[in-house]
Structure 1
Amino acid sequence: MAEPVPGGISVLPVHGLPEFAPGDDLAAAIAGAAPWLADGDVVVVTSKAVSKVEGRLVDVPPGADREALRLQAVEDEAVRVVARRGPLAIVQTRQGWVVAAAGIDASNVTQDALVLLPEDADASARALRARLCELLGVDVAVVVSDTFGRTWREGLTDVAVGAAGIAALTDHRGAVDAWGNRLETTRVAVVDELASAADLVKGKLSGVPVAVVRGLPYTTTAGDDEGTRPLVRLPQDDLFPYGARDLVRSREPGAELVPRAGELAAVAEAFRVASAALPEFPVVLRHGGEGDGVVDVHLSDTPNLTTALNLGALLGAAIVQLHAEGWTTRWEPVGTPGGSSLVGRLWLGTPAS
């Protein structure tokens, strides 16, 4: 008698999807190709498909230098250059990712285009999740994946650049292992593991942009869906903020910028005072991840010239107010405008005594 097959996790490719173009209904295509989706599944979609339907493309006119356009696009998408060697640049994108060439891809796309990363892949994942629920009546999580290199290791792997309906990190800190050891630092990037597992059936050359992971128990999100923001390492936690031999010098944190508690209340009060002339301006402030001394600034309205100018005016007035109270500050524009994405991080140091 055969032994029963143990339970486990299945990774299923979604075949039959078309070549996507701007304006296509990605969710409808997935629903048509995978009507078997079920509650608890995780739908992993390559970022390239998302970018194509959202029009995140750079046109390459006939006769144009495609490589020159790609290098210019890298400069346009970067907020900080970490290292550069010849035409290769490691940069930080507006979304907060540190990645080669700003994640811009010239493969699996026609010769007259380049593909940028999605403007806000977390928002894309949320919209895709809601649309799949509308079409199929299923409650699934969605991960948007992209291919990244890895520090100190050869080879590529897929990681998550967007997520919805699933916590990005599984936190085991404080748990006790089988030998009685308390875990102090263990947090598992479960959405990255899902992205990598899904790529085993999607592949780079097979033309399969979507896969489904089934059977994985995961922590769902409720209320404020943070997406992949918890994966972005804060500057004060980064032991290697710059390159070595190929260092591109950027700003260096001032010695006086030592994080202290109470910064969120101080920033909120400064913005309240500064916003007297802009009472309806849609700014949201949150702690920057886990670190004291960093406040994330969000722009909850759709970005345009007016909101950009208003944010600049409001931020400047708030910083002046903070300086008047003795705080030291540093502003880092590291996010993507729109939705719940970051537009930047405001660092505060100890008030003058």
Structure 2
Amino acid sequence: MDQLQLTALADIPLIRPGDDLAAIVLAGLARAELTLQDGDVIVIAQKIVSKAEGRLLHWRELTPSAQALELAALTGKHPGHVQAILDDSLSIVRVARGVLITEQRAGWICANAGVDHSNVDGDSDDLLTLLPEDADRSAQCLRERLADATGAQIAVIINDTHGRAWRMGAVGVAIGVAGIIPVTDLRGHPDLFGMTLRSSEVGTADEIASAASLLMGQSDEGRPVVHVRGAPFQAGEGSARAIVRPPQLDLFR
């Protein structure tokens, strides 16, 4: 019988810059009495990866540009916050009151370039987290450390929460991967009746990331690491950048 098992690791501490995430994950696995096996997946929240890597800034320390001042007036956001978003963006996609959608430097089309102030532990209300500079590299480093410690060939997914243009509600998505091909190409495979699939490509990494997000939660749950066993995926040296739809295939942007 096919079975998917997800376990949120308990008692993960608040993460500070420089913390050893591999050691923290291994300790969480030990508390849960879990031993990594080949084919397991560790899904880890972007927020704690960014914190550990020191991807933090105070928006009050930034000098807003003329563009930031203009966008702040349109969106109602603080000019310093807008400047932080612009500094980590390649382009602006949509602007409205309370909304600034950009193309983040890694190619993600998302609100505020992923720049966020929720669940950021600090004494100041202007502290922001940025997305990891290279989330694929972050995932690979964690995967290598866990493999060295356990000998298990696993996959690692760094997930974030993104809204969707045509559907209400934010969902978890993969922004960094290691050890997994993030998009499964089923074109050429037969369906139940022998018809050849011509356009079926499955966002496998996103599906696993979203499943893990159900356990992680979005507010004060404090469960940023999820162990996954039984997820079907193609192992390999994939990159989350393969998830980004090329501009020439983007019919809506």
- Listed one character per residue, the Cα deviations across residues 292-319 of structure 1 (whole Å, up to 9, x for unaligned) are xxxxxxxxxxxxxxxxxxxxxxxxxxxx
Specify the alignment match of 1:240 in structure 2: 252
Q: C-alpha displacement at 1:83, in angstroms?
A: 1.0
Select 1:152's aligned residue among 166, 170, 189.
166
Distance in structure 2 (CA, Å) of the matches to 1:94 and 1:112: 22
Partner of 1:50: 49
Q: Unaligned regions of 5+ residues in structure 2, if any?
A: 65-76
- Specify which structure has the bigger relative contact order, considering alpha-carbon pairs within 8 angstroms and separated by 6 or more residues: 2
Q: Distance in 1 between matches of 2:158 and 2:199?
A: 26
Residue identity matched to 1:106 = H
Correspondence 1:123 to 2:130: no
Supply the AA of the counterpart residue of 2:223: V
CA distance in 2, matches of 1:46, 1:26: 11
* Preserved contact between residue 28 and residue 135 of structure 1 (Cα < 8 Å): no
The answer to whether structure 1 residue 74 and structure 2 residue 69 are counterparts is no
Which one-letter code corresponds to 1:99 in the other structure?
C
The answer to whether structure 1 residue 109 and structure 2 residue 120 are counterparts is yes
Q: Secondary structure at the match of 2:50?
A: helix
15-24 vs 85-94, which moves further = 85-94
Q: Deviations over 1:212-269 (max 9, x none)?
A: 1101232110xxx23112111111111112xxxxxxxxxxxxxxxxxxxxxxxxxxxx
Matched, 1:163 2:207: no
Letter in 2 for 1:239: L
Q: Flag structure 1 segments of 5+ consecutive residues without an equivalent.
A: 1-5, 242-353
**3-state SS in 2 of match to 1:34:** helix
1:190 aligns with 2:204: yes
SS of 2:24 mapped into structure 1: helix
Specify the code of the residue in structure 1 equivalent to 2:9.
Answer: V
Aligned to 1:268: none
Q: Secondary structure at the match of 2:173?
A: strand
- Partners of 2:26 and 2:86 in 1: how far apart? 37
Q: 1:17 aligns with which of 9, 12, 19?
A: 12
Matched, 1:88 2:99: yes
Percent of aligned pairs sharing the same letter: 43
Tell me the secondary structure at the aligned position of residue 159 of structure 1.
Answer: strand
Number of matched residues?
232
Moved more, 117-126 or 227-236: 227-236
1:208 counterpart residue number: 223
Structure 1 residue 137: Cα displacement: 2.4
1:78-114 C-alpha deviation (Å, 9 max, x unpaired): 1111111134211101101111110111111133411
Q: Give the TM-score, by structure 1 length.
A: 0.63
**Structure 1 pair 185–7 and aligned structure 2 pair: CA distance change class (3 A):** closer
The two structures, once aligned, show a CA RMSD in angstroms of 1.9
Preserved CA contact (<8 Å) 2:60 2:80: no
Cα pair 1:46 1:209 within 8 Å, conserved = yes
Q: CA deviation at 1:67?
A: 3.6
The letter of the residue matching 2:175 is V
CA displacement at 1:179 relative to structure 2: 1.9
Quote the offset at 1:68 in angstroms: 3.2
1:134 aligns with 2:155: no
Contact 2:179–2:238 under 8 Å retained in 1: no
Q: Taking structure 2 as the reference length, what is the TM-score of the superposition? A: 0.87
